[in-house]
Structure 1
Amino acid sequence: MKIPSPNKLSRGGTRTKSPPLTDISGESAIPDREKRGSNLDESHVPWVTWRSLLLGAFVSIGGIIFGYDTGQISGFLEMDNFKQRFAQLKPDGSYRFNNVRSGLIVSMVSGYRCMSLNDEAEGRMCVCVCVCVNLTPFQLSIGTLIGALLAGPLTDRIGRKWSIFFWCIILHIGLIIQISSPSGKWYQFMMGRFVTGFGVGACSLLVPMYQGEIAPRHIRGAMVCSYQLFVTLGIFIAYCINFGTESMENTASWRIPLGITFLWGLVLGIGILFFPESPRYDYRHGRVDRARHTMTKLYGIPENHRVIVHEIAEIQEQLDAEKGAGGGIRGWIEMFKAPRMAYRIILGVVLQALQQLTGANYFFYYGTVIFNGAGIDNTYVTQMILGGVNFGTTFGGLYVIEHFGRRKSLIAGGIWMFICFMIFASVGHFSLDIDTPRNTPAAGNAMVVFACLFITGFAMTWGPMVWAIVAELYPSRYRARAMAMATASNWLWNFLIGFFTPFITGDIDFAYGYVFAGCLFFAVIIVYFFVIEGKDKTLEEMDMMYVMRVPPWKSSKWKPPEPENRLTTDQLMDRKVAKKYTKEEQSAESTKHTEGVPGHSHAETADSGEDAGTGPSHFS
């Protein structure tokens, strides 16, 4: 096979020498001559340091903001004072939201109590309305979508941590608008949620990005997953606080929960200033010593350790390839034209959409009906049960992602949720008495069990892991813009599902679950054929795997080529060179199998043999 030389001409016509890839497996990737002349430290790399643990947990407060803001609005719609101030007074003396007002404040309105089902059309809507207890805010969803798109370009200019600080200020402005809304001024509350959405959406992009860039590779997945853990914690806290304030008869019932959001924003916005900037961002902007210092503190190893030296070399190589990168519209066009970037952008957008299409929120929407069938009448208790299961089982995801990898976990989780949804939908559609759930307690109990089992599977796999995969999917050159598009996809589908669910369920009730089951089946196929395993890989190695077209089902055993046999990052960014190199690699692999000649393979084993190892036991 003709291997491109590391001294091969790059696109700019200059000779580039490829630094060695990072390899923290048992054998070093550094040639012996480099070892003798560099005096690199080969000591043990700690599994986790207190600095990396503190940083990952603290920044995840951005997840609490997301979850808390999402969870509290559903409780507000049950509070008498909130309805008296912002809903419409009906002839019977009750307060209810009309379709226009409810559509502008939230995507659907929670029913306050089931009414007489005399009119068929009104009855169908009532069935939908009375079961929607975890609502997706319309204005928040649109605001978060816009915030996620705006945050990408801004963070490339001012940095990750200063962007988080800025968007926390925007978050607080939105909260002030909401809290100060006078009686009858429902549109002010609506606009407050819209502005708040900017901050929430931006943080949903920036926090996983910051975690993915700053975390040591062997805990990167768990650290990014902690964002989703804190999202579920925020939802659970909001449910508990709503339960404690809903009995108040004045504005304190909803203003106290809103005011507590200030606490999360202040802690994150001010606290982030005391943490370091992303080392990859620092390095790209000339702050090399600061980047190296940050990495040594987070890894818990000296600056001359081979892991630090190799990762710095990889960052420098990518930086060299990025010189001359376009900005503005030109930068967006260049991103789509870069090797395998259109593929990865579409994959990120699809994965974030599929996270919503798993149907997790659907279980919260129908929580009241199925828990009523089990004898639980209080909607706030229902919320706390579902929120508690969601939060508690997310801890398992932190273990699963680093011990079983991304691919296996997502595939297994998708199959598990598919089974749960099929049983849930079948029981609900054919056995449950929707009008009077207490008439069919066995069906209600079965649905409660499978709702909790589904949430367990989601919380341990698709909930946290999609954020981790998207955070490591793109090269640093395009990461902010590409992640902004993927995150916007999540919020767009969040809104679409939340907005259209009541209309669909009004016609087909629990058979709607079959739609989500079909989406889960499709999601498993997407993961198997398109998602590459990122366990124990650096972000730069992930980029190489996608450009080299490593088959996803073989990716868990992929090893980076030896330094003398690989392309530089600059060459990888050249579509023609990368394509030619990939063909030569595939040709050599085919020849090896045909002739039975032993040799090195960059993707030796099938996915069925994926390693489910026990973490970085090689860090010794």
Structure 2
Amino acid sequence: MRPTTVPSEPTVEIPIQVVLPSSDLDEITPTNSVAVISPCRQTLRPSHSNDSSVATLRSPFHVIEKGKVSTFQACRRATRKAWIAWIACDFAGVLLGYDCFYINGVLGMRQFKQDFGGFSTNPENVNGHLYTNLEKSVMVSIFALGVALGAPITGNLAENYGRRISILIGCSVHVVGIALQLIAGSPHSHVTNIALLSMGRLVGGVGLGMLSGAVVTYFNETAPKELRGALSSSYQVGLVCGICLSTCINLATKDLSNSGAYRISIGIQFLWVTLLTVGIYISPETPRWYVSKGRHDQAAIALSAFLGPDPTSSKVQGDLDKLIESYRNELSGDWIDCFDGGLARGSNLRRTMLGLLVQFGQQFTGINFMFYYGTTFFLQTNMPNPFALVIGITLVNAVFCLVSFWTIENIGRRPLLIWGAALMALFQLIALLGTVTDPMTTRYVIYLFICLFAATYASTWAPCAWAVTGDIFPAALRSKGIALGTTANWGLNFILTAITPYLVDSEYANLKERIFYIWFALCLICGLYSYFEVYETKGLELEVVDRMVKIDRVTPRQSAAWLRMQAINNFVDLESPAVLEHKLSLNIQAKRVSAASSSDGTSS
């Protein structure tokens, strides 16, 4: 064990072995690092000693450590099998973004209007055919309803049969949905076409709801702590890429004079789902799921696939022992357990509320208003080329999703959510005030601040909401908690998608650009909630997060400081302050006995 110097008055060296749960620290070994403990508040004295000459340690400890593992280094350490699994999971994001948004471009195609529209005298009709606003609303919003319905299904599936199997079943359900959408179109009647397309989008949404919950769980249970947030960002990047792909493919096919105009856009989804299915099929199950089922040999093999060394190596066996120990007292949880414990700090109910409310917050930012109704808004404010402007916002979103790879692991979840909400509120307010006047220069200023709003969302709330939801639940409830969060996100998406036209249109509430007042207020509320309730979890193992919330009962505002704490001896995530004090007492007592023996030997 390595001697560690404790700066105090007076100073004493105590031989200890140090393992640090800090987000900035990797595992301490005698060959790669040195830990220096510096005192801060809360004096911790050995209970048996009244000797003022004995060194005083204070807790929590601030730690300076050499050998920090960066996100880039963690990427290089990941195995090829790990990257195959993670990249395959990103195609779930591509599918989600593509299937959600391809319909917006398809609805404007001449051939689609003719095949899916009934008789109409509306000036926008094609050969006398056009669908009604109600039919349009059903075709667009029913997908979000399907995702909200599918997410809870994955809770029990992932718990009983594994995360990997849940993803494969979700892919199968989504394939059925794609097939139903492809059947729709000529030569059926427009009512049959709308029914088939809507049913296909509903079934496809159910499949993607199952995928969303299982993929987020898979990411969180297989990623090293340095990459967990970055992989949440990669999922969001996949979603934005899906949106961009849907726009590009619709542009390429919109002028075709047959059903291929929209069927190509629908059928291309088979490619994304095939890549996801093949990638997950050849990938291992998560080690944590194997441990939860008592299948420790298979857990070691899965750990080896993600960590690299042989299953019998000391590194793999050490990590396996930690997982087994952390699951030893975990019981399989039921849905009702997600709401257990009342409002006490660290209870399952408080954690479930956190997972649900950050997902609500992602929708309350108003980002989907720009994606769904951005074209209409720009037309109402006399902006030129509204379709191109929406594409520009989508590209800004995609670029700044890449920025979140760095920010989420270096700045942290909590500050990104707090300051992200504040900045989005500010940018929306400025954009809103700009609509008061008419000059074209003002219009471009409005667009600039809307782009800044989209950039802020992409680098803060887009990845962080999923990262927090994946981090906060205990092992026994993780798959069910993430499923509930996914349901909350897409359920609110469905509601907002359905009611926003009635809030904006002149025939109803006629808010028009004044709807930004609503998003502004909701962003402020999201920021305040994040300040009081969101924990900082960057760089922590999932088991350490559970200890911080459940055992130590750390408050969210103290969580960032808790990351800098360190405890004595192996398996620090099970040590309490009382245990630390006892071990310190034993170490000092042993040192005194040794010193006394040496003194007696010298005297004799």
Instruction: Identify whether the pair has TM-score above 0.5, normalized to the shorter chain.
Output: yes
Asked whether the equivalents of residues 212 and 220 of structure 1 are also in contact (C-alpha less than 8 Å), the reply is yes
- Cα deviation, residue 544, structure 1: 1.1
Unaligned runs of 5+ in 2: 1-17, 31-65, 582-604
- Cα deviation, residue 527, structure 1: 1.1
Please give the TM-score of this superposition, normalised by the length of structure 2: 0.77
Asked whether the equivalents of residues 370 and 444 of structure 1 are also in contact (C-alpha less than 8 Å), the reply is no
- Cα deviation, residue 141, structure 1: 1.1
- Cα deviation, residue 361, structure 1: 1.1
Asked whether the equivalents of residues 21 and 310 of structure 1 are also in contact (C-alpha less than 8 Å), the reply is no
Question: Which one-letter code corresponds to 1:555 in the other structure?
Answer: S
Change in 2 beyond 3 A, CA 1:312/1:167: same
Q: Rg: which structure is higher?
A: 2
Please give the TM-score of this superposition, normalised by the length of structure 1: 0.75
| Backbone CA RMSD of aligned residues | 2.8
More strand per residue: 1 or 2?
2
- Is residue 561 of structure 2 the alignment partner of residue 557 of structure 1? yes
- Is residue 245 of structure 2 the alignment partner of residue 241 of structure 1? no
Relative contact order higher in (CA < 8 Å, ≥ 6 apart): 1
- The whole-number CA distance in structure 1 between the counterparts of 2:403 and 2:26 is 28
- The whole-number CA distance in structure 2 between the counterparts of 1:222 and 1:367 is 29
| Match of residue 412, structure 2, among 405, 413, 420 | 405
- Is residue 195 of structure 2 the alignment partner of residue 206 of structure 1? no
- The whole-number CA distance in structure 1 between the counterparts of 2:314 and 2:229 is 22
Partner SS, residue 173 of structure 1 = helix
- The whole-number CA distance in structure 2 between the counterparts of 1:174 and 1:22 is 48
| Match of residue 389, structure 1, among 387, 396, 404 | 396
Question: Which one-letter code corresponds to 1:255 in the other structure?
Answer: R
Asked whether the equivalents of residues 377 and 512 of structure 2 are also in contact (C-alpha less than 8 Å), the reply is no
Asked whether the equivalents of residues 79 and 308 of structure 2 are also in contact (C-alpha less than 8 Å), the reply is no
- Cα deviation, residue 406, structure 1: 0.7
Q: How does 1:157-556 map to 2 (within 5 A)?
A: 157-181=160-184, 182-184=188-190, 185=192, 186-300=194-308, 308-309=316-317, 311-323=319-331, 325=332, 331-337=334-340, 340-369=347-376, 371=378, 376-377=384-385, 379=387, 381-428=388-435, 430-432=436-438, 440-506=439-505, 507-547=510-550, 548-556=552-560
Unaligned runs of 5+ in 1: 1-19, 31-41, 107-137, 433-439, 570-580, 589-620
- The whole-number CA distance in structure 2 between the counterparts of 1:87 and 1:26 is 61
Question: Which one-letter code corresponds to 2:92 in the other structure?
Answer: G
Asked whether the equivalents of residues 414 and 535 of structure 2 are also in contact (C-alpha less than 8 Å), the reply is yes
Partner SS, residue 286 of structure 1 = coil
Partner of 2:158: 155
- The whole-number CA distance in structure 2 between the counterparts of 1:423 and 1:89 is 43
Change in 2 beyond 3 A, CA 1:92/1:302: closer
Asked whether the equivalents of residues 20 and 26 of structure 2 are also in contact (C-alpha less than 8 Å), the reply is no
Instruction: Spell out, residue by residue over 1:456-510, the C-alpha distance to the aligned partner (whole angstroms, 9 max, x if none).
Output: 0011110111111111111110111111111100001111111111111232211
Asked whether the equivalents of residues 370 and 448 of structure 1 are also in contact (C-alpha less than 8 Å), the reply is no
Asked whether the equivalents of residues 431 and 446 of structure 2 are also in contact (C-alpha less than 8 Å), the reply is yes
Partner of 1:117: none
Asked whether the equivalents of residues 417 and 458 of structure 1 are also in contact (C-alpha less than 8 Å), the reply is yes
Asked whether the equivalents of residues 144 and 493 of structure 2 are also in contact (C-alpha less than 8 Å), the reply is yes
Partner SS, residue 526 of structure 2 = helix
- Is residue 74 of structure 2 the alignment partner of residue 57 of structure 1? no
- Is residue 81 of structure 2 the alignment partner of residue 47 of structure 1? no
Change in 2 beyond 3 A, CA 1:475/1:26: closer
Instruction: Spell out, residue by residue over 1:124-165, the C-alpha distance to the aligned partner (whole angstroms, 9 max, x if none).
Output: xxxxxxxxxxxxxx2111111110011111111111111111
Question: Which one-letter code corresponds to 1:98 in the other structure?
Answer: T
Asked whether the equivalents of residues 22 and 307 of structure 1 are also in contact (C-alpha less than 8 Å), the reply is no
- The whole-number CA distance in structure 2 between the counterparts of 1:564 and 1:196 is 48
Change in 2 beyond 3 A, CA 1:563/1:485: farther
Deviating more after overlay: 450-459 vs 183-192: 183-192
- The whole-number CA distance in structure 2 between the counterparts of 1:248 and 1:565 is 64
Deviating more after overlay: 441-450 vs 167-176: 441-450
Asked whether the equivalents of residues 84 and 279 of structure 2 are also in contact (C-alpha less than 8 Å), the reply is no
How many residues are paired up?
499
Change in 2 beyond 3 A, CA 1:560/1:291: farther
Partner SS, residue 549 of structure 1 = coil
